[in-house]
Chains A and B, each alone.
Chain A
Amino acid sequence: MKHSSTLTVLSMAMLLSACGGEADSTQARGPDPKLPEPQRGLLPSMKIAEPVAWGAQKPTVPEGYSVTAIATDLRIPRQTLVLPNGDILVAEGRGGSAAKLKPKDVIASVIKAEGNTKVKGGNRLTLLRDADGDGTYELKTVFADNLNAPYGLAFADGKLYVANQDALVRFDYADGQTKAGGPPTTVTDLPAAINHHWTKSLAISPDGRSLYVGIGSNSNITERGMEVEIDRAMVWQIDAATGAHKPYATGLRNPTALTIQPGSGQVWAVVNERDELGPDLVPDYLTSVREGEFYGWPYSYWGQNVDTRAQPQNPAKVAAAIKPDYSLGSHVAALGVDFSIPAMGKQFADGVFVGEHGSWNRDNPVGYKVIFVPFSNGQPAGEPLDFATGFRGEDGKTRGRPVGVTVDPRGALIIADDLANTVWRVTRNK
């Protein structure tokens, strides 16, 4: 490698930069994706879909389903939670304090900002209530504010848990409450230095004793140094009573949403994988989070595919890496996951919904929709189905970007849209 002449390096760079992204259909999805060789042109592919307002348009949902905007003018809604009485809590905010270390960071941040909302994050929880069950959420009120980029939400045993970008906090909650009784109690601090990936995802075991927090890496692929990756790219298990924590699973680059599988109690996650290895690498994935296992980041991806950008390398860790369960396709940016229930209709009764925020590192954008991954015998089985689309229109403009997806036990899917600052509710027609 050291002997390669400048000319070779240059011509290769030029050649590679000529290779663009391919169509959505070539994206390998499912349990055993075919992975191409890594590639990277002189410039990374960047395609920001131009944001426009929804206007009279709405997301497209399957026949026999309807979609309604139940709340608008929010301040960057990310994840939602349906409380026992049917009220919906929405976490609003934007975090991260990652310094711009290279000229590239300065330029890339300007470009990426083009594809995001200009609204300032709310740092609050908004409560939505539909008291009469007619599908209109007539009450929209601030449940709690002065939070620090709240993201993950969970509820059990009269306690409402919120994963801020720097701490896991807890509110006492009584049924029907519309405003928190006071500031929250800190359960435990969370790794918060830099917060390149700031979203702290959250799930709680059905017995309410164990909390699971997803902590993203502090870089794409260790370009901020190995030192800042301590306690990053992993899922913590936290004891609800004491706040004590331990790493539950590691090597998960950015576990952006966690959920518990009904019945088995198994923790599942959607994870965003690394960028700048080409349009069809590395697949973001859906996986059961197996205790004590290592999922590869930063040393390798999808098992033993070594990523030479992480140096010094660690062959022992590469050998120990396990493969995730199900590829969602590269760059789709899955940010939401929840298990379905029979009330969602026959076709969507058994499986998970996944909210895909959409790509930036791909000439031909992917994601920008909510998909359904069918399950059989507790495992993903078969091709994913589109559930809500149209967030990025045929005209190449982006009207919304899905984040959190939450199944309402009454038979509805709640979708947070952080570009349009809207919460959508998809229901089956009676």
Chain B
Amino acid sequence: MTVTPALTYRSTPGPLHATLLAGTVPLFLGALLSDIAYYQTYQIQWSNFAAWLIAGGLVFCGLAGLFALVNLLRADRKAGRPSVYFLLLLITWALGLVNAFEHAKDAWAVMPSGLVLSAVVTLLACVTTWVGLTNLRSGGDQ
């Protein structure tokens, strides 16, 4: 009987990778909450907060993406979680960038598309972080 030994080493994101990844959630969530506040009050400062929080989210998301890419390139089996995780990060970042451009519009021109995008990006950031932090094995059966 031939046995293919399953690779069982752990590939939990390191502390820096995990911080960057998990950091996208409060940043994008903060942007969403700020957008909601602006939507309800017309107070422009909320919209400024949202724009900066999105910019911060993009930095964190982008750096986490670099880790994910390296992780993907070094994985023995690229299909499955490593690819899904990287793709999710990529989509989150791309939509986040579109959202940043939306938030570069003046005053109420941000609404409602900016609010909708902030909700979508926040949801994506949550899912991506979940997938990333539960990605315990890069090889073998999952």
- What is A's interface to B at a CB cutoff of 8 Å? 1-2, 4-6, 9-10, 13, 40, 42-44, 101-104, 219-226, 276, 308-312
- Contact of B104 with A by CB under 8 A: yes
Q: Could you say which of B101, B106, B108, B116 has the most chain A C-beta atoms within 10 Å of its C-beta?
A: B106
Task: Say which residue of B42, B47, B120 sits within 8 Å of A312 (CB atoms).
Answer: B42
What is the minimal beta-carbon distance from A229 to any residue of chain B, in angstroms? 11
What is the minimal beta-carbon distance from B112 to any residue of chain A, in angstroms? 5
What is the minimal beta-carbon distance from A306 to any residue of chain B, in angstroms? 11
- Contact of B83 with A by CB under 8 A: no
- What is B's interface to A at a CB cutoff of 8 Å? 42-45, 47-48, 51-52, 55, 98, 100-109, 112-113, 116-117, 120
With known contacts A4-B112, A4-B116, A103–B44 Cβ distance under 8 A: no
- Chain B interface mostly: helix
Which B residues lie within 8 Å of A226 (CB)? Answer: 42
Asked whether, in the complex, the Cβ of B51 is within 8 Å of the Cβ of A222, the reply is no
Which A residue sits closest to B119, measured CB to CB?
A: A6
What is the minimal beta-carbon distance from B95 to any residue of chain A, in angstroms? 8
Task: Say which residue of B98, B100, B106, B117 sits within 8 Å of A223 (CB atoms).
Answer: B106
Task: Say which residue of A1, A2, A101, A221 sits within 8 Å of B48 (CB atoms).
Answer: A101
Task: Say which residue of A1, A9, A224 sits within 8 Å of B44 (CB atoms).
Answer: A224
Which A residues lie within 8 Å of B42 (CB)? Answer: 226, 311-312
Which A residue sits closest to B48, measured CB to CB?
A: A101
Which A residues lie within 8 Å of B103 (CB)? Answer: 102, 104
Q: How far is the CA of A309 from the CA of B108 in the complex (A)?
A: 4
Which A residue sits closest to B113, measured CB to CB?
A: A9
Asked whether, in the complex, the Cβ of A1 is within 8 Å of the Cβ of B112, the reply is yes
Asked whether, in the complex, the Cβ of B112 is within 8 Å of the Cβ of A221, the reply is no
Q: Could you say which of A9, A221, A224, A310 has the most chain B C-beta atoms within 10 Å of its C-beta?
A: A9
What is the minimal beta-carbon distance from B121 to any residue of chain A, in angstroms? 10
> What are 16 sample pairs from A and B whose C-beta atoms fall under 8 A apart?
A6-B116, A6-B117, A9-B116, A40-B109, A102-B51, A102-B52, A220-B106, A221-B107, A223-B44, A223-B107, A276-B105, A276-B109, A308-B108, A309-B108, A311-B108, A312-B42
With known contacts A104-B104, A311-B42, A10–B98 Cβ distance under 8 A: yes
Asked whether, in the complex, the Cβ of B106 is within 8 Å of the Cβ of A219, the reply is yes
